[in-house]
Chains A and B, each alone.
Chain A
Amino acid sequence: TLRLICTSTAVQKRNVGASGPEKYTEAFIKKQIEEFNLGKRHLANMMGEDPETFTQEDIDRAIAYLFPSGLFDKQARPLMKHPTEVFPEQRKIQWGEDGRPFHFLFYTGKQSYYSLMHETYEKFLNVQKHQDQLTAQDLPLQREKRNLAGSRWLTKIELEEMLLEKVSDDDYSRFIQLLQKLVALPCADIEEKYIQKFSKEVPVQLQKVVIEPLQHDERGVAFSTGEGKRKTARATAVVYDNGTGKITVNGIDILHYFPVLQDREQLLFPFQFLGRIGKHDMVCTVSGGGRSAQAGAIRLASAKALRSFVTEKEVEFMRQAGLLTVDPRVKERKKPGQEGPRRKFTWKKR
């Protein structure tokens, strides 16, 4: 009598997840590219345009027209792009027909990273040799200061994209240390091109706020404009020089527009701070928001306009007083399951 020990075939089932993410073969990508080109010509035909001069922007517009989608996430909407942008770049099979790998560092596991380290070290040795030659000939070593402030090294993610394989934190820090050592040498200018591959320009950080110069109207009076906002109110103010301290809002005098004292105080605060209460005239337009919001918006607009009349030190004082900062507070939305933005429903024990 036979005794079956292992009956289920479940043991021999292929573990689909173990092979990693789907690998795209070259043939598959080629087919996708052909299909994309054909589809592009069909689309051009459908839209009545010339198939030869149909650019990517035309494709995007056509797709947005034919398949309108109300989804918020742009990446979830219908997409038609060249397959090289859609399918991520992947490593093809690393060895030839006879089984021999192509790269000489294949058996290390991280071939691109180690070959990069190898090349960088070779450049390092080159620079040292050059230095030795110069010292042997008693020539002075060059010292052109590299602009360190304007550049930064590649981040780990950018390096991973460059090498197409994962880089661990230790490996990344080692690579950056090696690059720094290379840059620290006096004659590193020889390998400038190689180093530039791994450094990026940092854009100018502080965008200096440009204070506009004074403009003059027909009568020769200097004036300047400013814009401000608060909650939902938007205001524009024009501040004239050689004035008597008259302020007009939407064509109406402030005494009639803002009956409440608090709002008028808000309007006058920038002038009071600079000590120029009777010296300027102001004409403003405001819309949206409520009483207090409109007052706050005009205050910000007038402070911005006054920057052109005043020295830089006083601008700094105004900034520190909070006159030039936009108030970020807006009405918080109501959440479901609660009565208001923060207030919860009354809790009843039973």
Chain B
Amino acid sequence: DDKLLTEPLRHPDFFSVKELFTLKDLFDARVHLGHKKGCRHRFMEPYIFGCRLDQDIIDLDQTMQHLQLALNFTAHVAYRGGIILFVSRRRQFCHLVESMARACGEYAHTRYWQGGLLTNAHIQFGPGVRLPDLLVFLSTLNNVFEPHVAIRDAAKMNIPTVGVVDTNCNPCLITYPIPGNDDSPAAVELYCKLFRMTIIRAKDKRRQSEAIEELQ
């Protein structure tokens, strides 16, 4: 049991996350497109490659690194049987995110976020509830273009977060930000596909390792 948990931590890329995507895939899915110069957030400046005709272009090399770290982290969390909660407040992708979460066997929350869901969970749900171990944001802003309350709540409850930050978002409190476009359907579908594949891979690996352990 101990060996099961420590074995993946010895390799930098145990789940071979790098093979899942290439720079060309990100470019084709229009991940590099940001918002206009006026919407730019101050803390996103390090991630921006440049600005063309007033539109910000995100640096895809940095995106690659961040995406790899984030996917590696989600794979490890899924391998250890952690609860992953997908959050997005975009109405167009609500159905896609929910179906993706159901396919993985994880959880989703694409609706109105009630105040005490994480911080007041024992009273809202009942005693003995288990909180999510990882929060994945497909879009960090809510419908009024303000940072989602869940980022702050997760930071309060010591829950790590992975989030796709666009040029108008605040990447401060997110543990594994992924600078990239969160508005185009192509980009969001790509992210969904990547997360789904990593989680399924991690769970399959876990089942294989357990089966091997039982045989021994």
Contacts and interface: CB of A to CB of B under 8 A. Distances in A.
Interface string B73-108: 000000001010100000000010011011001111
Interface residues of A, number: 20
Contacts of B65: none
B98 A109 contact: no
A104 B98 contact: yes
Interface residues of B, number: 23
B111 A107 contact: no
Contact of B117 (A18, A98, A107, A118): A107
A317 interface: no
Interface in A76-107: 93-95, 98-101, 104-107
Given A114-B111, A121-B95, A122-B95, A104 B101 contact: yes
A339 B125 CA distance: 58
A166 to B, nearest CB: 13
Contacts of B117: 107, 109
Contact of B124 (A99, A100, A109, A125): A109
Contacts of A12: none
A207 interface: no
A262 interface: no
A150 to B, nearest CB: 32
B129 interface: yes
Contacts of A105: 98, 107-109
B130 A100 contact: yes
Contacts of B147: none
Contact of B130 (A99, A104, A110): A99
Interface in B102-152: 102, 105-109, 111, 114, 117, 123-126, 129-130, 132
A74 B101 CA distance: 50
Given A98-B81, A104-B106, A125-B95, A109 B130 contact: no
A7 interface: no
9 contacts: A99-B129, A100-B81, A101-B83, A104-B101, A105-B107, A107-B117, A108-B111, A110-B111, A114-B111
Given A93-B126, A104-B102, 18 more contacts: A94-B125, A99-B129, A100-B130, A104-B105, A105-B98, A106-B125, A107-B85, A107-B107, A108-B109, A108-B111, A109-B124, A109-B125, A110-B111, A114-B111, A118-B95, A118-B98, A122-B95, A122-B99
Interface of A: 18, 93-95, 98-101, 104-110, 114, 118, 121-122, 125
